[in-house]
Amino acid sequence: MESRCLGYAGPRSRSEVGGLCDDKDSSVREAAVVALVLIGADAKEIGTSLRNAVKDGASVRMGAVGSIGSVRPVTSENVTALTEALADKDLQFRAAVANALGEMGPDAKAAITPLTMVLNGSDPGPRIAAAGALWRIDGQKDAALPILLKYLREGDPNQRTYAAWIPGKIGRAAKDAIGDLTQSLHDQDRGVRLSVATDLCKVNGPKEAAMKVLLDELGKNGESKYDVLWTLNQLGSDAKDAAPAVRGLTRHKDRFVRQKALETLKKIDPKGSVN
């Protein structure tokens, strides 16, 4: 929330927000590294602040690597900072770093060798992230796909969800994963099913089957509907078939569900109306 508030500051306040990256309060620093990207600051303006933040405490540096992956233009200094961070001992952080490099796309080719080392390592999270990054940076489908499918089939629920999430980031170029993703629509874990259904829509998979899973989850009693609505929201107009069900939730007893349903309806069916 703090990062969003800072994000409304506007271009004139970029220097002030940048200064908050050195604030004594870690929560302020964490908000600042995210807000710099929301403000639309140029990578050359904020690169030093973000790179310094990569060496900060856990929550701050996680935000910093995500921002470095998003900010444009991609600079060699930012690629180097993330490449060096791949050697960190924290597995979650290393996975986040690999994801950020993947977000940079072909401009992060200098990271291919260290990412390949991570891919060939033994830690599931970083391996999955490295597979996605190599595919997005250099089109290394043949190296990446076996790793993703391995964890999609054999991993624990978190690993299966993560492995299913990667093809959606790649988009239609990940069509070779459609068969395995379709099989995983029937995974015993709800989180995996939601992730798989979302990604199948993004990679141009069997939309009908994916939407059926999402609508089934939306209609279940006692289950959280908010996360399904969030998923449909991410799909935008690709989830237009879900509009009638979402419209029904605009009258739900939970106000957070009602609000998310209204927001989602506007995203998936902008011309539709709430009766």
Tens digits of residue pLDDT in 202-261 = 888 788 999 999 999 999 887 789 999 999 998 999 899 999 999 999 999 999 999 999
Tell me: cis bond preceding 146? Omega within 30 of 0 counts: no
Kindly tell me if the per-residue pLDDT of 57 is higher than 50.
yes
Query: Does the domain spanning 104-205 belong to CATH 1.10.760.10?
Result: no
Mean pLDDT across the stretch 84-92? 97
- Interatomic CA distance for residues 229 and 159, integer angstroms: 23
What residue spans define the domains of the chain?
A: 1-73, 104-205, 219-275
**For residue 1, what pLDDT band results from cuts at 50, 70 and 90?**
very low
Tens digits of residue pLDDT in 224-234 = 899 999 999 98
Domain range 1-73, CATH architecture: Alpha Horseshoe (1.25)
| pLDDT number for residue 258 | 94
The reply to whether 104-205 shares the fold of 1-73 is yes
* Percent share of the chain, pLDDT over 70: 94
Tens digits of residue pLDDT in 25-53 = 999 999 999 888 888 778 788 899 999 99
Kindly tell me if the per-residue pLDDT of 3 is higher than 60.
no
Tens digits of residue pLDDT in 153-200 = 999 999 999 999 999 999 888 999 999 999 999 999 999 999 999 989
| pLDDT number for residue 104 | 97
Most confident stretch, 7-16, 18-27, 107-116: 107-116
Tens digits of residue pLDDT in 71-80 = 999 999 999 9
Tens digits of residue pLDDT in 113-139 = 999 999 999 999 999 999 999 999 999
Three state DSSP letters for the chain: CHHHHHHCCCHHHHHHHHHHHHCCCHHHHHHHHHHHHHHCCCHHHHHHHHHHHCCCCHHHHHHHHHHHHHCCCCCHHHHHHHHHHCCCCCHHHHHHHHHHHHHHHHHHHHHHHHHHHHHCCCCHHHHHHHHHHHHHHHCCHHHHHHHHHHHHHHCCHHHHHHHHHHHHHHHHHHHHHHHHHHHHHHCCCHHHHHHHHHHHHHCCCCHHHHHHHHHHHHHCCCCCCHHHHHHHHHHHHHHHHHHHHHHHHHHCCCHHHHHHHHHHHHHHCCCCCCC
pTM for this predicted structure: 0.88
